[in-house]
Amino acid sequence: MNASPPIFVGRSSLWNNPFEGRPKIGAERARILYGYWLPGTLHPYVLRCAGFGHDEIDGLERMRKRVVASFDQLRDQRLICRCGNPRTCHRPILARASEAAQ
């Protein structure tokens, strides 16, 4: 049993979903974008179509690399988000990715 405190992965944490709360991107699309973005399979063209500028796209890729590099901090930990919407929450995607990256 893991007794360490849960890790907050919601807004304002390193592990937040950067697509959540963006104008014109609803919660469902934000979750879909996140699912492609996290493993590095989201083409920059999709982001440009969604209104992201070049600097933002570069920033997103830097963030993604930091997140992937931190997977060992998340593995076997309890992750909490507090967005209040289990259907669109990115937490399960993040949890699966960090568990799979051994």
Decide if residue 60 touches Zn ion (CB under 5 A). no
Tokens of 45: 């063209």
Stretch that binds Zn ion, among 35-43, 44-52, 53-61, 73-81 (CB under 5 A): 73-81
User: Which residue number, 12 or 102, has a Cβ lying nearer to Zn ion?
Assistant: 12
The CA radius of gyration of the chain, in Å to the nearest whole number, is: 14
Question: Least Å distance between CB 96 and Zn ion?
Answer: 14
Decide if residue 38 touches Zn ion (CB under 5 A). no
Which residues have CB under 8 Å from 81's CB, separation 6+? 8, 9, 10, 89, 90, 91
Tokens of 62: 């830097």
Tokens of 38: 């996290």
Decide if residue 89 touches Zn ion (CB under 5 A). yes
Decide if residue 81 touches Zn ion (CB under 5 A). yes
Q: Is the Cβ–Cβ distance between 7 and 74 less than 8 Å?
A: yes
Question: Least Å distance between CB 86 and Zn ion?
Answer: 8
| Binding residues vs Zn ion (CB under 5 A) | 81, 83, 89
